[in-house]
Amino acid sequence: MADDQGFAAPDDRPVAVALRALKLGDLLVAVPALKALRRGLPEHRLLLATSAWLEPLVRLVPGVDGLVPAKGLDALLPFAPGEVDVAANLHGNGPESRGIVDALGARRTIQHARPGEPGLPWLDGILERERWVRLTGAFGMPGDPDDVAIDVPAEPSPAPGAAVVHVGAFYGSRQWPVERFAAVARRLADEGREVVFSGSATERERALAVADAGGFPESDVLAGRLTLDGFAGLVASASLVVTADTGAAHLASAYRIPSVVIFGPAPPEEWGPPASGPHLVLTHAELRVGDTFGAEPDPALLAVTVDEVLAAIARLPVGERRP
């Protein structure tokens, strides 16, 4: 039996495995489908096959019993054929992910149909959360695409009630300019708000540049200083999150924290937050190039101004907490 990264001890329940071997935001948009699987398979041990570094966040997803480390789509999962009772492909519909799921030899497999074959067809251009609950629903396990809530980590926030300005983005196509983040942060501070800057360790220099441009001390830069669950705790206790379309935006959705999300190459119609939450999306879709992995900021992102972000913040119920 595969390792489950220290979750509850294995037991005699049949095993269900869901494959979603991607990044933080990708994990969080799959939460509604994972909850649907949990409700639909109450007698199973539900394991998520994903990137090992996501373990602290996977522990916060209600109903998931463990994590199976996955190396992207480069290797099969460490199960003998037939050891898994139910396998769900929440990753995609290409030959790589299908091959990994099919190799499990599960009694029941939940995935989209291949083109031209009977079953649930893959649809391009739909909301990612809707995609996966549409899949589980087709197999008798309905879900709510807006049911994105996860648990709050036990570790207390280093800055409860702060406005979190998340300056990072994995690809340059999503990097809103340093000076604009700085201008927004400066205005928030001038209004009397505590402001902190988040990002990964590799984004710390960018965060320091934003803080310096806005006249903030280095102590306000939390980028690179937090564990993953520490980052989740920071967002969970924030009064506001300002970010590009990144994992920080999906955490704000999970905790119903007021957020302004600046979209560039990815369409918000596919990756945006729940419409019912205190979240506002800014983009200029008519300018979108759509090169998700590009090194340069997408024109749809660059066209968003500081004034637009500040106007959006003014429309939010800043200070509202999740129920």
Question: Is residue 7 domain-resident?
Answer: no
**Which CATH number fits the domain that encloses residue 261?**
3.40.50.2000
Which residue in 257, 189, 152, 170 sits closest to 197, CA to CA? 189
Distance CA 154, CA 237 (A): 12
Whole-angstrom CA distances from 37 to 30, 34, 100, 143, 188 are 11, 5, 19, 8, 41
> Same domain, yes or no, for 214 and 306?
yes
Question: Is residue 157 domain-resident?
Answer: no
Question: Is residue 153 domain-resident?
Answer: no
Domain closes at, from 138, 155, 173: 138
Q: Which residue has the tokens 């992102």?
A: 301
Question: Is residue 146 domain-resident?
Answer: no
Output the tens digit of pLDDT for each of the chain's 323 residues. 445 554 667 788 999 999 999 999 999 999 999 999 999 999 999 999 999 999 999 999 999 999 999 988 999 999 999 999 999 999 999 999 999 999 999 999 999 999 889 999 999 999 999 999 999 999 999 999 999 999 999 989 999 999 999 998 889 999 999 999 999 999 999 999 999 999 999 999 999 999 999 999 999 999 999 999 999 999 999 999 999 999 999 999 999 999 999 999 999 999 999 998 999 999 999 999 999 999 999 999 999 999 999 999 999 987 543 33
Burial class (CB in 10 A: 0-12, 13-18, 19+), 94: exposed
> Same domain, yes or no, for 124 and 209?
no
- Which residue range(s) make up the domain with 59? 15-138
Distance CA 42, CA 161 (A): 37
What domain count does the chain have?
A: 2
pTM of the model: 0.94
> Same domain, yes or no, for 171 and 280?
yes
Domain closes at, from 138, 172, 206: 138
Long-range contact list for 246-250, CB < 8 A, 24+ apart?
246/24, 246/25, 246/166, 246/168, 246/169, 246/170, 246/174, 247/23, 247/24, 247/25, 247/28, 248/164, 248/166, 248/168, 248/198, 249/25, 249/166, 249/273, 249/279, 250/24, 250/25, 250/28, 250/29, 250/148
Instruction: Evaluate whether 158 touches 227 at the Cβ level (below 8 Å).
Output: no
Non-local (6+) Cβ contacts of 27 within 8 A are: 20, 48, 50, 54, 57, 58, 61
* Terminal CA-CA length for the chain: 38
Q: If you ran DSSP here, which 8-state letter would residue 288 be given?
A: -
Question: Is residue 69 domain-resident?
Answer: yes
Question: Is residue 91 domain-resident?
Answer: yes
> Same domain, yes or no, for 45 and 178?
no
Question: Is residue 30 domain-resident?
Answer: yes
pLDDT, residue 11, reads 84
Question: Is residue 145 domain-resident?
Answer: no
Distance CA 9, CA 125 (A): 40
> Same domain, yes or no, for 113 and 200?
no
Q: Please state whether beta strands 86-89 and 15-19 pair in parallel, antiparallel, or not at all (unpaired).
A: parallel
